[in-house]
Amino acid sequence: MGRQCPLVNPTQGTRLAGKATMKARIYDYAVLTVDVPGDNGAVIRKGTTGAVIEARDEPTERYTVIVNIPDDASSTGLRYGNVILRPDQFDVPPTDSQAYDLN
């Protein structure tokens, strides 16, 4: 069984026992870069947003992400689902205010 990544400095990834830095940490914002399979044969579309709730490095690097799925039938306009993603299936956009032009 893999181990859960510890929380680290928000400006850096997680480094585990001599391994390369992992892409994301728990609570990171995530944006899908590809379509991924969802529940009941549905497809979760590229651009869907969510939050990393679990990060594992063994046997391979994987992330559990809660995603916000558009749903017109819902009173909030969204439903939520969990997906397990490889690092190449999502991006972690910058959250540092310096990354944005606030003027």
pLDDT tens across the length of the chain (103 residues): 444 444 333 434 454 445 568 899 999 999 999 999 987 778 999 999 999 999 998 889 999 999 999 889 989 998 899 999 999 999 999 876 545 554 4
Average pLDDT, the chain: 80
Ordered by start, the domain boundaries in the chain are 29-93
At residue 20, the pLDDT reads 63
What is the helix (H) or strand (E) element at residue 31, kind and residue range?
A: strand 29-32
At residue 89, the pLDDT reads 97
77 Cβ contact partners less than 8 Å away, ≥ 6 residues apart: 70, 71
B/e letters for 67-84, b = 16+ CB within 10 Å, e = fewer, are: bbbeeeeeeeeeeeeebe
